[in-house]
Amino acid sequence: MEARDYPNFFTRIGITDEEVRARVQACFDTIFFDPEENFYHPVDADSACMIDTGNIDARTEGMSYGMMMAVQMDRQDIFDRLWTFSMRYMHLDAGPHAGYFAWSTNLEGRHNAEGPAPDGEEYFAMALFMADARWGSGEGWYDYAHWARDILRHALHQPELAEGGQPMWNPSNHLIKFVPEMETSDPSYHLPHFYEWFAKLADEADRPFWAEAARASRAYIALCAHPVTGLSPEYAAYDGSPVLFFRKPWAFYSDAYRVGMNIALDCLWNGRSPALCAVATRLQDFFADKREEDYKAYDLDGRAWDEPAMHPVAITATCAAATIASDSPTAEAWLRRFWELPLRKGNRRYYDNCLYFFSLLMLAGMYRPWVDAD
């Protein structure tokens, strides 16, 4: 099992390990158990879901995020309840998407959509590999390693496994798609730090693909980011140019906030990459003189639209996480600013607080792979 120690970055502003661990636990408890502010929702005696509180649904994004939180915090009981809901209500057994997961259901498990969102599948797979390493696999749905490999097998080989199916990764350029049927990507879906582990733990025949996917994703993240602001588009063509969906005329918006956080975790687990560190540095510099109440939707060159950011806490959290990779003189100020920022309250708290928790966890030195390739 991966046992490497990671630093507590908050010591740079005088915050002790004990204080950081207490903050991490308090945030976890709020997300899962606070009677007013949690978004963990028991459904059956053995299942639960994570509520997107802005849309009042359960999404594979949130389900897999919740499983990742649970395995990081050594809560197998929560992990299994979330995974049970995912398999019982979201897993698709027929049609071109068989083997994938319906990306959205209502809180009782009825499908709002019949197609997948690949960021859910990649988080599911990584969380399941970690669960196998931390707790050992069981039987049926709880054979964690089996299901992790099954998810990744479908992600690459869907055309052979389901009639009319499409893979989640482009087989030629090794880049993840926004949805399987579209030759368009989402820079925030790119998780090279996960692919490095998939290259050791997935089906043996697919391991070279995942190793190349890690390399390709690092190059793609750098390609998509603006050379001055560091801003990335929510959706992008394979050449890195922005693609505008959902009638939004701006490029930098909610999905894209995750890019800085993803760069940070890749640097934490795999070492610094000059190109990605430059993106993290530019992001921190761009937002350094802005505050949560002033954040907007942006073009990649930094031009602000008259549209407030929907998730301002997430921007601050992920910019702070970028300290792990950044060379900006503002890096320590970001740590202090994040430490003083509370979790978001209200109906949009789900996305902000997920990114808040992951950013806090990695800055605390507590976000670990928990896997062993031997």
Just give the CATH number of 41-168.
1.50.10.10
Burial of 259 (0-12, 13-18, 19+ CB in 10 A): buried
Domain positions in the chain are: 1-38+170-374, 41-168
pTM of the model: 0.97
Catalytic residue among 61, 80, 119, 234: 61
Could you tell me if 24 and 9 are in contact, meaning their C-beta atoms sit under 8 angstroms apart? no
State the Cα–Cα distance between residues 336 and 338, nearest whole angstrom.
Answer: 5
- CA dist., res. 218 & res. 333, Å (int): 27
Residue 217 has pLDDT above 80, yes or no: yes
Quote the percentage of the chain above a pLDDT of 90.
Answer: 97
**Which is it for strands 40-44 and 104-105: parallel, antiparallel or unpaired?**
unpaired
As given in the structure block, the two tokens for residue 95 are 């049609």
Give the pLDDT confidence of 140-199 residue by residue, as tens digits: 999 999 999 999 999 999 999 999 999 999 999 999 999 999 999 999 999 999 999 999
User: What is residue 374's predicted lDDT score, i.e. its pLDDT?
Assistant: 58
Q: Is-catalytic flag, 266? A: no
Predicted local distance difference test score (pLDDT) of residue 3: 56
The DSSP string of 25-51 is HHHHHHHHH-TTT--EEEEETTEEEEE
- Write down the mean pLDDT value for the chain: 97
pLDDT of 2 reads 53
Intra-chain end-to-end CA distance of the chain, in Å: 9
Residue-wise pLDDT for 39-53, tens only, equals 999 999 999 999 999
* Residue 196 annotated to the active site: no
Is the pLDDT assigned to residue 1 strictly greater than 80?
no
pLDDT at position 80, please? Answer: 98
The residues with which 101 forms a beta bridge, in sequence order, are: 91
Average pLDDT of span 235-256: 96
pLDDT band at 257 (very low <50, low <70, confident <90, very high): very high
Task: Specify the 3-state DSSP secondary structure of 246.
Answer: coil
- Give the mean model confidence (pLDDT) for residues 60-66: 98
* Residue 372: per-residue pLDDT: 78
Closest CA relative to residue 63, chosen from 73, 52, 53, 75: 52
- For a pLDDT cut of 70, what percent of the chain falls above it? 99
Which pLDDT score is estimated for 308? 98
In contact, 356 and 64? CB cutoff 8 Å: no
Burial class (CB in 10 A: 0-12, 13-18, 19+), 33: exposed
Q: Which residue carries 């929510």 as its tokens? A: 234
What pLDDT digit, counting tens, does each position of 300-335 carry? 999 999 999 999 999 999 999 999 999 999 999 999
What is the Cα Rg of the chain in Å? 19
Structure-block tokens of residue 354: 């997920």
Considering only CA atoms, which of 367, 348, 370 is closest in space to residue 358?
367
Q: Which of 122, 255, 266, 285 is catalytic?
A: 255
CATH architecture under which domain 1-38+170-374 falls = Alpha/alpha barrel (1.50)
Q: Which of 61, 203, 50 is nearest to 119 (CA)?
A: 61
Q: Given this model, what pLDDT does residue 322 score?
A: 98
Task: Give pLDDT tens digits for 259-297.
Answer: 999 999 999 999 999 999 999 999 999 999 999 999 999
Predicted pLDDT of residue 4: 74
Confirm if 372 and 1 have CB atoms less than 8 A apart.
yes
Asked whether this chain's domains 1-38+170-374 and 41-168 adopt the same fold, the reply is yes
- CB within 8 Å of 368: residues ≥ 6 apart: 2, 4, 6, 72
What tokens were used for 181?
Answer: 């049927």
Q: Band the pLDDT of 363: cuts 50, 70, 90.
A: very high
Give the confidence band of 203 by pLDDT, cuts at 50, 70, 90. very high
- Which of these, 156, 147, 201, 151, lies nearest to 176 by C-alpha position? 156
Sign of the Cα torsion 202, 86, 118, 284 reads negative
